Amino acid sequence: MARRRVSTFMSLAVACAVAACGGTSSSSTSTSRVTRTAATTTASAAQPLGPEGIPLEAGPGLASAATTTPGGAVDGIKCAPIEQLVYHIHAHLQVYVAGHPRSLPAAIGLSGPVAQQTAYGPFYGAQRCYYWLHTHATDGVIHIESPSVRVYTLGNFFDEWRQPLSRTQVAGAKGKVTAFLNGKPWTQDPRAIPLRPHASIQLDVGEPTVKAQVISWAGTDL
Protein backbone atom coordinates (compact mmCIF):
# COMPACT_ATOMS: atom_id res chain seq x y z
CA MET A 1 0.00 0.00 0.00
CA ALA A 2 1.40 3.40 -1.00
CA ARG A 3 0.53 5.15 2.28
CA ARG A 4 2.24 2.43 4.32
CA ARG A 5 5.29 2.56 2.09
CA VAL A 6 5.63 6.32 2.43
CA SER A 7 5.23 6.00 6.19
CA THR A 8 7.97 3.38 6.26
CA PHE A 9 10.27 5.62 4.27
CA MET A 10 9.49 8.52 6.59
CA SER A 11 10.39 6.40 9.62
CA LEU A 12 13.73 5.65 8.01
CA ALA A 13 14.23 9.30 7.07
CA VAL A 14 13.44 10.46 10.59
CA ALA A 15 15.81 7.89 12.08
CA CYS A 16 18.47 9.10 9.66
CA ALA A 17 17.86 12.74 10.52
CA VAL A 18 18.06 12.06 14.26
CA ALA A 19 21.31 10.14 13.76
CA ALA A 20 22.67 12.98 11.54
CA CYS A 21 23.48 10.51 8.77
CA GLY A 22 23.81 11.29 5.06
CA GLY A 23 21.15 12.25 2.51
CA THR A 24 18.10 10.10 1.81
CA SER A 25 18.11 7.59 -0.99
CA SER A 26 16.23 8.50 -4.14
CA SER A 27 15.39 4.83 -4.70
CA SER A 28 12.51 5.03 -2.22
CA THR A 29 10.65 7.49 -4.37
CA SER A 30 10.17 4.95 -7.14
CA THR A 31 8.26 2.62 -4.80
CA SER A 32 6.43 5.17 -2.69
CA ARG A 33 3.46 5.05 -5.03
CA VAL A 34 1.43 2.37 -6.79
CA THR A 35 -0.57 2.92 -9.96
CA ARG A 36 -3.83 4.51 -8.90
CA THR A 37 -6.85 6.34 -10.17
CA ALA A 38 -6.37 10.09 -10.13
CA ALA A 39 -8.36 11.58 -7.26
CA THR A 40 -9.63 14.93 -8.51
CA THR A 41 -12.33 17.53 -8.17
CA THR A 42 -13.30 20.11 -10.76
CA ALA A 43 -11.19 22.74 -9.01
CA SER A 44 -8.13 20.53 -8.55
CA ALA A 45 -8.14 18.65 -11.86
CA ALA A 46 -5.20 20.70 -13.15
CA GLN A 47 -3.16 20.13 -10.00
CA PRO A 48 -0.57 17.33 -9.91
CA LEU A 49 -1.09 14.39 -7.61
CA GLY A 50 0.88 14.51 -4.38
CA PRO A 51 2.59 11.66 -2.53
CA GLU A 52 -0.73 10.47 -1.05
CA GLY A 53 -2.51 10.23 -4.41
CA ILE A 54 -4.59 13.37 -3.74
CA PRO A 55 -4.03 16.51 -5.85
CA LEU A 56 -1.77 19.09 -4.26
CA GLU A 57 -3.64 22.27 -3.38
CA ALA A 58 -3.06 25.46 -5.32
CA GLY A 59 -2.41 28.91 -3.88
CA PRO A 60 -0.33 30.25 -1.00
CA GLY A 61 -0.49 28.54 2.36
CA LEU A 62 -3.12 29.70 4.84
CA ALA A 63 -0.48 30.09 7.54
CA SER A 64 2.81 28.57 8.58
CA ALA A 65 2.66 25.02 9.89
CA ALA A 66 5.21 26.08 12.51
CA THR A 67 2.48 27.76 14.56
CA THR A 68 1.44 24.31 15.82
CA THR A 69 1.58 24.05 19.62
CA PRO A 70 5.12 22.77 20.42
CA GLY A 71 4.47 19.62 22.44
CA GLY A 72 1.69 20.65 24.83
CA ALA A 73 -1.74 19.03 24.81
CA VAL A 74 -4.57 20.95 23.10
CA ASP A 75 -8.25 20.08 23.54
CA GLY A 76 -7.05 16.78 25.00
CA ILE A 77 -4.98 16.09 21.87
CA LYS A 78 -1.44 15.05 22.71
CA CYS A 79 1.81 14.79 20.81
CA ALA A 80 3.10 11.20 20.78
CA PRO A 81 6.53 9.90 19.72
CA ILE A 82 4.90 7.60 17.16
CA GLU A 83 1.68 7.78 15.15
CA GLN A 84 -1.35 6.41 17.00
CA LEU A 85 -3.21 3.99 14.76
CA VAL A 86 -6.01 2.60 16.95
CA TYR A 87 -8.33 5.08 15.24
CA HIS A 88 -6.95 6.09 11.84
CA ILE A 89 -9.10 8.07 9.39
CA HIS A 90 -8.67 10.97 6.96
CA ALA A 91 -10.56 14.13 6.07
CA HIS A 92 -9.90 16.78 3.42
CA LEU A 93 -9.99 20.57 3.74
CA GLN A 94 -10.05 23.08 0.88
CA VAL A 95 -10.18 26.83 1.55
CA TYR A 96 -10.97 29.63 -0.91
CA VAL A 97 -10.41 33.31 -0.13
CA ALA A 98 -12.29 35.75 -2.40
CA GLY A 99 -12.75 32.87 -4.83
CA HIS A 100 -9.06 31.93 -4.96
CA PRO A 101 -7.69 28.64 -3.57
CA ARG A 102 -5.41 28.60 -0.56
CA SER A 103 -3.39 25.57 0.46
CA LEU A 104 -3.25 23.72 3.76
CA PRO A 105 0.46 23.51 4.61
CA ALA A 106 2.29 20.25 5.23
CA ALA A 107 3.65 19.38 8.69
CA ILE A 108 0.83 20.86 10.77
CA GLY A 109 0.90 18.90 14.02
CA LEU A 110 4.42 17.55 13.50
CA SER A 111 7.06 18.47 16.06
CA GLY A 112 10.49 18.56 14.47
CA PRO A 113 9.23 18.02 10.90
CA VAL A 114 11.51 16.34 8.38
CA ALA A 115 10.74 15.83 4.68
CA GLN A 116 11.16 12.73 2.57
CA GLN A 117 11.55 13.85 -1.03
CA THR A 118 9.44 11.83 -3.47
CA ALA A 119 8.74 12.09 -7.18
CA TYR A 120 5.36 13.57 -6.21
CA GLY A 121 6.58 16.19 -3.77
CA PRO A 122 7.79 16.19 -0.16
CA PHE A 123 6.12 14.00 2.46
CA TYR A 124 6.73 15.06 6.08
CA GLY A 125 7.27 13.05 9.22
CA ALA A 126 8.23 14.13 12.74
CA GLN A 127 11.52 13.77 14.57
CA ARG A 128 10.06 14.46 18.02
CA CYS A 129 6.31 13.74 18.11
CA TYR A 130 3.05 13.60 16.18
CA TYR A 131 -0.15 15.30 17.27
CA TRP A 132 -3.17 13.09 16.72
CA LEU A 133 -4.37 15.54 14.04
CA HIS A 134 -1.73 16.39 11.46
CA THR A 135 -0.82 16.86 7.79
CA HIS A 136 1.94 15.15 5.83
CA ALA A 137 1.70 16.98 2.48
CA THR A 138 0.17 20.09 0.88
CA ASP A 139 -2.81 18.11 -0.42
CA GLY A 140 -5.40 19.21 2.16
CA VAL A 141 -5.53 15.77 3.80
CA ILE A 142 -5.93 15.87 7.58
CA HIS A 143 -4.78 12.66 9.26
CA ILE A 144 -6.71 11.70 12.38
CA GLU A 145 -4.56 9.13 14.17
CA SER A 146 -5.80 8.66 17.70
CA PRO A 147 -5.26 6.12 20.51
CA SER A 148 -9.05 5.86 20.91
CA VAL A 149 -12.19 6.40 18.86
CA ARG A 150 -13.32 10.01 19.14
CA VAL A 151 -15.12 12.45 16.86
CA TYR A 152 -12.70 15.36 16.50
CA THR A 153 -13.78 18.64 14.94
CA LEU A 154 -12.29 21.18 12.58
CA GLY A 155 -12.12 23.50 15.58
CA ASN A 156 -9.86 21.00 17.38
CA PHE A 157 -7.55 20.96 14.36
CA PHE A 158 -7.33 24.77 14.19
CA ASP A 159 -6.80 24.98 17.97
CA GLU A 160 -3.89 22.57 17.70
CA TRP A 161 -2.57 24.62 14.77
CA ARG A 162 -3.00 27.78 16.86
CA GLN A 163 -5.01 29.46 14.12
CA PRO A 164 -8.41 31.16 14.50
CA LEU A 165 -11.53 29.64 12.97
CA SER A 166 -14.97 31.23 13.20
CA ARG A 167 -17.89 32.37 11.07
CA THR A 168 -15.82 35.41 10.06
CA GLN A 169 -12.23 34.16 9.94
CA VAL A 170 -10.13 31.21 8.71
CA ALA A 171 -6.53 31.52 9.90
CA GLY A 172 -5.42 34.98 8.68
CA ALA A 173 -8.25 35.38 6.14
CA LYS A 174 -11.18 37.50 7.34
CA GLY A 175 -14.68 37.75 5.90
CA LYS A 176 -17.97 35.88 5.96
CA VAL A 177 -17.23 32.14 6.03
CA THR A 178 -19.41 29.87 3.91
CA ALA A 179 -18.90 26.21 4.78
CA PHE A 180 -19.69 22.97 3.00
CA LEU A 181 -19.45 19.39 4.23
CA ASN A 182 -19.49 16.64 1.62
CA GLY A 183 -20.87 19.07 -0.95
CA LYS A 184 -23.76 20.29 1.22
CA PRO A 185 -24.05 23.65 3.02
CA TRP A 186 -22.98 23.63 6.67
CA THR A 187 -24.97 26.30 8.51
CA GLN A 188 -23.56 25.82 12.01
CA ASP A 189 -20.29 27.17 13.40
CA PRO A 190 -17.49 25.86 11.14
CA ARG A 191 -15.59 24.90 14.29
CA ALA A 192 -18.19 22.19 14.86
CA ILE A 193 -17.63 20.43 11.53
CA PRO A 194 -16.86 16.79 12.43
CA LEU A 195 -13.73 15.15 11.08
CA ARG A 196 -15.34 11.87 10.05
CA PRO A 197 -13.91 9.28 7.64
CA HIS A 198 -13.41 10.82 4.18
CA ALA A 199 -15.13 14.07 5.14
CA SER A 200 -14.79 16.61 2.33
CA ILE A 201 -14.76 20.10 3.87
CA GLN A 202 -14.75 23.40 2.00
CA LEU A 203 -14.52 26.87 3.51
CA ASP A 204 -15.09 30.00 1.40
CA VAL A 205 -13.99 33.29 2.94
CA GLY A 206 -15.65 36.35 1.43
CA GLU A 207 -17.04 36.62 -2.09
CA PRO A 208 -17.37 35.14 -4.59
CA THR A 209 -17.99 31.68 -3.23
CA VAL A 210 -16.91 28.62 -5.20
CA LYS A 211 -19.30 25.83 -6.09
CA ALA A 212 -18.98 23.07 -3.51
CA GLN A 213 -16.37 20.49 -4.46
CA VAL A 214 -16.09 16.95 -3.14
CA ILE A 215 -12.71 15.26 -3.21
CA SER A 216 -12.50 11.71 -4.53
CA TRP A 217 -10.54 9.16 -2.49
CA ALA A 218 -10.74 6.53 -5.23
CA GLY A 219 -7.47 4.82 -6.00
CA THR A 220 -5.74 6.00 -2.82
CA ASP A 221 -4.81 4.03 0.28
CA LEU A 222 -6.32 6.67 2.57
pLDDT digits (tens, 9 = 90+) for 188-219: 999 999 999 999 999 999 999 999 999 999 99
| pLDDT reading at 113 higher than 80 | yes
6 contact partners, CB below 8 Å, separation of at least 6: 32, 51, 52, 116, 118, 123, 136
pLDDT (0 to 100) of residue 163: 97
- pLDDT confidence of 16, banded at 50, 70, 90? very low
pLDDT (0 to 100) of residue 44: 53
85 contact partners, CB below 8 Å, separation of at least 6: 145
pLDDT in tens, 31-88: 333 333 333 344 455 899 999 999 999 999 999 998 877 778 999 999 999 999 999 9
pLDDT (0 to 100) of residue 64: 95
75 contact partners, CB below 8 Å, separation of at least 6: 155, 156, 159, 160
188 contact partners, CB below 8 Å, separation of at least 6: none
Centroid of chain to Cα 78: 17
The average pLDDT across 112-126 equals: 96
**Quick one: DSSP state of residue 57?**
P
pLDDT in tens, 144-171: 999 999 999 999 999 999 999 999 999 9
pLDDT (0 to 100) of residue 62: 96
Pairwise pLDDT comparison (25 vs 82), residue with the higher score = 82
| pLDDT reading at 8 higher than 80 | no
3-state secondary structure (DSSP) of residue 161: helix
